Amino acid sequence: MRASFRVIFFLFCFLWTFPVYAESLCANSCASDSGTVYHGIEYCHIQDSTHQIFILKVDLQAKGIKPFVNPKEKGMTTSKFASKYGVQVAINTAFFNGSGALGFQKSNGTVYGTDGYHAIGFDQNNKYYQGDTDAIHDLMYNATSGSPVLIKDGVKQSFSSDSFQTSKHPRTAVGADKTGRYFYMVVVDGRRTKRQGMSTSTLADCLIALGAYNGVNMDGGGSSTMVVGGKVKNSPSDGSERSVRTHLGFFADKTCTPEPEKCNNIDDDCDGQVDEDNVCCVPETEVCDGKDNDCDGQVDEDNVCCKPETEVCDGKDNDCDGQIDEDNVCCKPEVCDGKDNDCDGEVDEDNVCCTPEPEICDQKDNDCDGEIDEDNVCCVPEVCDGKDNDCDGQIDEDNICCEPEPEICDQKDNDCDGEIDEDDVCCVPEICDGKDNDCDGEIDEDGICPEECEPFEEICDQKDNDCDGEVDEDDVCNVPEGCKPSEEICDQKDNDCDGLVDEEDVCREPESCVPSEEICDGKDNDCDGKIDEGCTDSKDDSVDADVYLKSPDCSSHPGHPADKPLSAVIIMLILAGLFTLRRNRSKL
């Protein structure tokens, strides 16, 4: 089982690769017996361990080359055909039977044979044709037929599965390249160990490898024969040449004798070119037909093909005015090439030659965007110069112009640190006002506010006398209008203009006071801290009795009636009344 699998696998690989092998084989180098045998004809012999291939390549435009197909005859070998008609090279061609050649045959214009096969042939100027219509047949001067078609217009054809086409046999085939200048004749030996032959498919591959664009298979087997210079080059499978009905041969010169070039599709001057230098030209008026009608070596010149259209940039005279690409039609965006691409009279303008680099502050367009020093590349830290140095839209911000001074409590940043009234510069001793005056985080601490406040009239003493939470409010400490400050003395007046009368114990006698009887003289005679208490007669009319009634608590000033017994008060009032009555009578 394993051995059978190996055989099948080997056969599959062989059959898969054989067409490629055949194609590559026909492209191999020719053997040493190969070369140019006649002017315009090259002979090539290719061989390996299992193949012998013989090839003739004919230049149909070479001087002296003429194709020829034998007229209708009973039959002869290929070497006899070459000898009888004097052709230099020849091969067998058409299939035949007892009645004669099969397919369309034509010899120097004379037709014989039958239809049903695929014809190839040449006109009198050696032009190659391949086809099966009457029109094509009429163009041929010498023709023969075969089957099947191997290649048509560059495409390898499909082949049937019958053994005639799939089996390896001796083969004969012909074909021509795409230009029709080169014609190929191929003979493959077969039916021998080292000459196995080819299938029609591999034969087509071989023609393609040679350069054929069209090709047809001819009669093969024992008929396959190639003759060059009167000698049979291959080894016919019958052991000797077979007599066949149709042959194709070529007349050729051994060497080329140059002659002036004529209009005949032949290389008369042996330079490899055909009908050059306008030898076929008959001067006529130039017309738009892709030809040199006036034989001046130019085709369709002088705008004969021009149909006026809008001029575009295409290297052509679109508007038929004799100018090409005029009116700036080829203008395009400027590029860096030393040219005026946009047709504005300037070369390489608008930074087209600029090589982008990071923008820096140098009054140049470093990044090639048409802007200079953009994106704040020239910004620097702010300084005090009336400019926006750091490009933030502000001038001299962040106290840049500030001259530092010690911080004071004035709602300003005196020390230029960005803070206002920091470091407790606004702190004062704590008072009872519901605020943290001394900045220690506590409010009205240390018993500054009495637990039970007894309200009385507010006076200027830095206390909340009326218990309303405010100290010395209502301008009690304001200096009275017209008051001229002087040292406070004990005279029941506000001498120092501070809103207080006889403050700071100015009326208290010094410790050296020697007590004596109190008299009405504005002094503390008895050294008890009170003045003129019990005084019944004022020696100084300028002292108003109201001075004894100043204190709101009715006890803070000497001489107040509250300091005496009620009877003394009554006596003082009676005496005052009598004194007033006596004064009034004396006036009367």
Torsion of CA 66, 71, 74, 80, to 10 degrees: -20
Question: Looking at beta carbons, which pairs linking 14-17 to residues 24 or more positions away fall under 8 Å?
Answer: none
The CA-to-CA distance between both ends of the chain, in Å, stands at 179
Residue 522 CB: number of other CB atoms within 10 A?
Answer: 18
Residues 365 and 371: beta-carbon distance below 8 Å: yes
Distances (CA, A) of 286 to 133, 282, 298, 321: 35, 11, 9, 18
**At how many degrees (to 10) do helices 2-26 and 200-210 cross?**
30
Strand locations in 291-340, DSSP E?
none
Instruction: Compute φ and ψ for 296, nearest 5 degrees.
Output: -105, 10
Strands (DSSP E) contained in 200-288 are 214-218, 226-228, 231-232, 247-251
- Sign of the alpha-carbon torsion through 309, 312, 316, 321: positive
**What is the pTM (predicted TM-score) of this model?**
0.49
Tokens of 574: 């009676």
* Mean pLDDT, the chain, integer: 84
Q: What is the DSSP string of 146-196?
A: ESSEEEETTEEPP---SHHHHS-B-EEEEEE-TTS-EEEEEEE--SBTTB-
pLDDT at position 90, please? 98
Peptide bond into 148 cis (omega under 30): yes
Query: Cα separation of 53 and 186, whole Å?
Result: 7
Instruction: Name the strand (E) or helix (H) holding 80.
Output: helix 78-85
Q: What is the rounded distance in angstroms from the CA atom of residue 346 to the CA atom of residue 40?
A: 60
pLDDT in the model for residue 423: 83
**Distance, CA of 332 to chain centre:** 22
Which among 542, 534, 538 has a CA at the least distance from the CA of 568? 534
Rounded Cα distance, 89 and 36, in Å: 12
Tell me the C-alpha distance between 519 and 540, whole Å: 12
| Segments in the chain below pLDDT 50 | 1, 3, 5, 7-21, 538-564
